[in-house]
Amino acid sequence: MSLVDINGLHKRFGDMHVLKGIDLSVKEGEVTAIVGRSGSGKSTLLRTINGLESFDSGTLEVDGERLSAGRTDLRQLRLKVGMVFQQFNLYPHLTAGKNVMLSPTVVKKTDKREAEAIARDMMAKVGLADRFDYYPDQLSGGQQQRVAIARSLAMSPKVLLCDEITSALDPELVNEVLAVVRKLAEDGMTLIMVTHEMRFAREVGDQLVFMHQGRIHEQGNPRSLFDAPSTPEFANFIGAVS
Ligand code: ADP
Ligand code: MG
């Protein structure tokens, strides 16, 4: 049984055909790493899965919630899908803990005390139990991104989408964020992540997807694909000698 099932999905921005028939299945508890050059449609695909973008044809199903092109009732989908972006976008006037409490309180109407308990749990999960009352500008970039992950987890998503979540970080802060993602994967979280961290994709990914010009150009076991790319485009991308 797939948790996420995408069939024949097409997406255009005006004349530009950005997703050209995407078929993708993700099983519960599986980590899918999406790689590819800038402009190949990776972010658009994630945004579509999260209901941030509409699509022109095909179907998208997440945990039994099935969407066809043109449907506008996205509430159920958005409750099932969490997303973390390159930019952390924390509210600067709220503490880390309050940032994490916000969505449960506002979107799910969870009462304050329960929301705080959830937020403390999630802050602990990302290794920041002792930073609950800190403001974003008192935290490093890596810590802020971990708060952003905790904020997504506080909504208990069925699947977490990560779009280049370490790309805006100084190199020495990348590993602490990847360590949190690795832990989530080990705990059984279903993850779909766009990443430039090839080693991480290889080690943690159950499935690798290489996107090229709006299509899934190669797909399969990360280790097999990295060791033996079957297309010149993927070989070029990973810098292999083909
Ligand atoms: P990637 O994440 O792989 O770099 P994107 O999904 O961001 O690729 O973009 C794929 C293509 O769609 C690019 O050509 C980009 O310019 C275009 N695109 C993305 N978002 C929009 C938008 N909101 N309006 C018009 N074109 C867009
Ligand atoms: Mg992108």
pTM score, two decimals?
0.96
Q: What is the 3-state secondary structure (H, E, C) of 26-47?
A: EECCCEEEEEECCCCCHHHHHH
| CB of residue 48 inside a 6 A radius of ligand 1 | no
pLDDT per position in the chain (242 positions), as tens?
A: 799 999 999 999 999 999 999 999 999 999 999 999 999 999 999 999 999 999 999 999 999 998 888 776 788 889 999 999 999 999 999 999 999 999 999 999 999 999 999 999 999 999 999 999 999 999 999 999 999 999 999 999 999 999 999 999 999 999 999 999 999 999 999 999 999 999 999 999 999 999 999 999 999 999 999 999 999 999 999 985 44
| CB of residue 103 inside a 6 A radius of ligand 1 | no
CB 215 within 8 A of CB 198: no
Whole-number Å distance between alpha carbons of 136 and 190 = 27
Closest CA to 218 of 40, 50, 83: 40
- The residue type of 216 is I
ipTM, two decimals, is: 0.98
CB 82 within 8 A of CB 49: no
Query: What is the position in ligand 1's atom list of the atom closest to the CA of 163?
Result: 2
Query: What is the position in ligand 1's atom list of the atom closest to the CA of 53?
Result: 23
